[in-house]
Structure 1
Amino acid sequence: MGKFKEHLLIFLKGIGMGGADVVPGVSGGTIAFITGIYEELLDSIKAVDLEAFKLLISFKLPEFWRKINGNFLLPLFLGIAVSLLTLSKLILYLLDEHPIPVWSFFFGLIIISAILVLRPIKKWNVGVVITLLAGIAIAYLITSATTSETPTDLWFIFLSGAIAICAMILPGISGSFILLVLGKYEYIFKALSNLDVVTILVFMAGCVTGLLSFVRVVSYLFKKFHDLTIALLAGFMLGSLNKVWPWKIPTAFRVDRHGEQVVAAAKNVMPNEYTEHFKTDPQLFTAILFLAIGILLVVGIEKVANYKIKPTQ
């Protein structure tokens, strides 16, 4: 019974990580850190190496399972999967029915997350500032140049998964944020909601590849170039804010693969211009409220994380 409770607790932590990665700005890595499983997660992922592969193909399954810490990884990833599958329908519904509050909430999440990500920088210098500005410029250019529809080819879905999964091991930056920058946020969640098996499997394959490939790279960058890496990540987040601006006016349309007309490109506008164009309430007060909720949520998570750290110091 003790083992069952332990596995159930890990499963629930996985649900928390999956729920965090549904929204841009809140990282599954942050939740892992808060719940005390961050180091075990990194160590378990690093254990999936050539030696583990040899054990697997030799059918030494008990040894393989112990090496990769399967009793930890299985319930954790099951929890993440359940969370993503159940919350995908909700997030798509909210984006369709209440876009301004949802995007305002995301805007608040991302801007406060970027600010908090910058806090661990130990020494500000010209290099750090230039890296931060470069990150802002790169993300802004990418999100400005990217229309509402990036390629739906399987190679791009694979690449999106490989890049987005890295956020799971980075406290402070979320996988959903990466998908947002790549223009695949709604597409992937629609695939999850509609159980598009091919898209989901290709995306998952990308996630596995990215996780196994980049976990060591990320660890190396953080150890050797900590401040520069942090500055670049924060720059990416700040530069992408134009992607989640709540008030947009369509500038081009296209027909999707289902024969439906959808927005191909849109421009950011101020609330008054939004009202003039759509002849509707810009929901300014609601937008400010949800922006504040997003900020308070991240601040609350950060406070809990600090509380968790203090007893060990």
Structure 2
Amino acid sequence: MTDASSTAGPPSAAVAPEPAVPSHRNALGNLLRGALIGLVETIPGVSGGTVALVTGIYDELIESGHHVTAAARRLITGPDRNQGMREELRAVSWVLVVPVVLGMATAVLTVAGPVSRLVETHPETMRALFLGLVAGSVLVPVRLSGGAWRGPELVRFVLGGLAGVLLTSLPAAALEPSPWIIAPAAAIAVCALVLPGLSGSFILLSLGLYQPTLQAVDERDLGFIAWFGLWACVGLVVIVKLMRHLLTRYHRGTMVVLAGVMIGALRSLWPWQDQSGAATAPGADWPVLLAVAVLGVIVVQLLVLVESRKVARAAGGAPSAPVRSTTLRP
């Protein structure tokens, strides 16, 4: 899955400088982005990584997460522990990270209960809305992949789609929320948070831990929340390191695969499902639900348009595409 851009040219050739990861300096805007990520992470089938991708902060969040984990590693292993830690922490975009984390925490703590009840009482309508939101987001990684897809990209796209279908077809379980069940579930769910197209809430739902987790948040069960958060951090360290490597070395291929995963994961958001989660034929309310899904697509495209114009203004140019492709520095 090696990208053409990752191969170095001959020493005598002129090498264009790598495009920098765009910087988001508006703290209020980042707070709202974080709130959106926190909101969708309470919804089975929708990924916070998708929101980060649509709002243009995905690469920058991965880069900052890498520097945070690198700072902890430098402090523990050296060399130059204190100096090395400070160097890594200075590279973190705190004006992005802090508001996003605060926005996520605020949204989760305030809407977890109401969203859970809304999904229970209006499942078809909510799934139709989320289907439109995710479907409208697929164009983002497609455009970020850059250029027309050839045979290898099409194969990766299909494989990503199959992976999305497989991961969202996991049979539902009913596990007891003991500490040793919560630990791996939290680590896996947070990985889904980082990966666009995969929902951490859906993973918890498949394991039978969705309702216990939202209930613990709604009731401020600090013991449950602290244990879940600890293992979520462990999973986050692993997935951030992996995603940064992929985005640095194989940006185009990674975006192609993510687009496929997002398409495949739409299976879990088909509005008409039976009690086991299997898809059924559309009901008589299909025109209304279709309109709801289209509304979701429009909302996402408006977000993409706003973000692209903001990036274009910052660069002093015209918005040629909804979101600009970026490359992380190795």
TM-score normalised over the length of structure 2: 0.69
The residue that corresponds to 1:78 in the other structure is 102
Q: Which has the higher helix share?
A: 1
Q: Which amino acid aligns with 1:45?
A: V
Which whole-Å CA distance do the structure 1 matches of 2:75 and 2:183 have between them?
Answer: 23
The residue that corresponds to 1:301 in the other structure is 303
CA contact (8 A) 1:42 1:169 kept: no
Q: Residue 240 of structure 1: SS of its match in structure 2?
A: helix
Query: Could you give the per-residue CA deviations for residues 18-58 of structure 1, whole angstroms, max 9, x where no partner exists?
Result: 23544415634237636997487446535533234579xx9
Q: Which has the higher strand share?
A: 1
Query: Could you give the per-residue CA deviations for residues 177-230 of structure 1, whole angstroms, max 9, x where no partner exists?
Result: 243155255553333223343432232122211222232321111122223222
Which whole-Å CA distance do the structure 2 matches of 1:238 and 1:124 have between them?
Answer: 16
Q: Which amino acid aligns with 1:112?
A: G
CA contact (8 A) 2:38 2:105 kept: yes
Deviation at 1:95, TM superposition (A): 0.9
CA contact (8 A) 1:249 1:269 kept: yes
Deviation at 1:169, TM superposition (A): 5.3
The residue that corresponds to 2:135 in the other structure is 111
Q: Which amino acid aligns with 1:99?
A: P
The residue that corresponds to 2:239 in the other structure is 214
Which whole-Å CA distance do the structure 2 matches of 1:7 and 1:308 have between them?
Answer: 14
Deviation at 1:84, TM superposition (A): 0.8
Which whole-Å CA distance do the structure 2 matches of 1:226 and 1:59 have between them?
Answer: 32
Which stretch shows the higher mean deviation, 239-248 or 297-306?
239-248
Which stretch shows the higher mean deviation, 63-72 or 188-197?
63-72
CA contact (8 A) 1:121 1:226 kept: yes
Which stretch shows the higher mean deviation, 17-26 or 78-87?
17-26
Query: Could you give the per-residue CA deviations for residues 263-306 of structure 1, whole angstroms, max 9, x where no partner exists?
Result: xx24221134xxxxxxxxx5323312221121111111111121
Deviation at 1:108, TM superposition (A): 1.1
Which whole-Å CA distance do the structure 1 matches of 2:164 and 2:125 have between them?
Answer: 23
Gaps of 5+ in 2: 1-25, 316-330
The residue that corresponds to 1:157 in the other structure is 182
Instruction: Determine whether 1:229 maps to 2:254.
Output: yes
CA contact (8 A) 1:121 1:227 kept: yes
Which whole-Å CA distance do the structure 1 matches of 2:58 and 2:243 have between them?
Answer: 21
The residue that corresponds to 2:230 in the other structure is 205
Please, which of 38, 41, 44 is the counterpart of residue 18 of structure 1? 38
CA contact (8 A) 2:193 2:200 kept: no
Instruction: Determine whether 1:29 maps to 2:52.
Output: yes
Q: Which amino acid aligns with 1:129?
A: L
Which whole-Å CA distance do the structure 2 matches of 1:135 and 1:25 have between them?
Answer: 16
Instruction: Determine whether 1:270 maps to 2:270.
Output: no
Q: Which amino acid aligns with 2:307?
A: A
CA contact (8 A) 1:136 1:237 kept: yes
Which whole-Å CA distance do the structure 2 matches of 1:151 and 1:119 have between them?
Answer: 42
Please, which of 168, 187, 202 is the counterpart of residue 180 of structure 1? 202
CA contact (8 A) 2:191 2:200 kept: no
Question: How many residue pairs end up in the alignment?
Answer: 279
Which whole-Å CA distance do the structure 2 matches of 1:117 and 1:129 have between them?
Answer: 14
Query: Could you give the per-residue CA deviations for residues 222-262 of structure 1, whole angstroms, max 9, x where no partner exists?
Result: 12222322222222222222212221222xxxxxxxxxxxx
The residue that corresponds to 1:257 in the other structure is none
Give 1:223-262 correspondences, 5 Å limit.
223-250=248-275
CA contact (8 A) 1:139 1:181 kept: no
Query: Could you give the per-residue CA deviations for residues 59-98 of structure 1, whole angstroms, max 9, x where no partner exists?
Result: 99x9699658696555542332111111111211211211
Q: Sequence identity, in percent? A: 22
CA contact (8 A) 1:18 1:83 kept: yes
Q: Residue 249 of structure 1: SS of its match in structure 2?
A: coil
Q: Which amino acid aligns with 2:125?
A: P
Distance 1:174 1:234, change over 3 A: closer
Which whole-Å CA distance do the structure 2 matches of 1:128 and 1:155 have between them?
Answer: 40
Which whole-Å CA distance do the structure 2 matches of 1:117 and 1:45 have between them?
Answer: 25
Which whole-Å CA distance do the structure 2 matches of 1:283 and 1:129 have between them?
Answer: 35
Gaps of 5+ in 1: 1-5, 251-264, 273-281
The residue that corresponds to 1:97 in the other structure is 121
Q: Which amino acid aligns with 1:19?
A: L
Please, which of 161, 165, 175 is the counterpart of residue 140 of structure 1? 165
TM-score normalised over the length of structure 1: 0.72
The residue that corresponds to 1:193 in the other structure is 218
Which whole-Å CA distance do the structure 1 matches of 2:115 and 2:168 have between them?
Answer: 21
Which stretch shows the higher mean deviation, 119-128 or 182-191?
182-191
Distance 1:118 1:150, change over 3 A: farther
Which whole-Å CA distance do the structure 2 matches of 1:35 and 1:118 have between them?
Answer: 14
Which whole-Å CA distance do the structure 2 matches of 1:15 and 1:178 have between them?
Answer: 16
Which whole-Å CA distance do the structure 2 matches of 1:115 and 1:28 have between them?
Answer: 13
CA contact (8 A) 1:45 1:215 kept: no
Which stretch shows the higher mean deviation, 136-145 or 32-41?
32-41
Which stretch shows the higher mean deviation, 83-92 or 123-132?
123-132
Which whole-Å CA distance do the structure 2 matches of 1:241 and 1:152 have between them?
Answer: 28
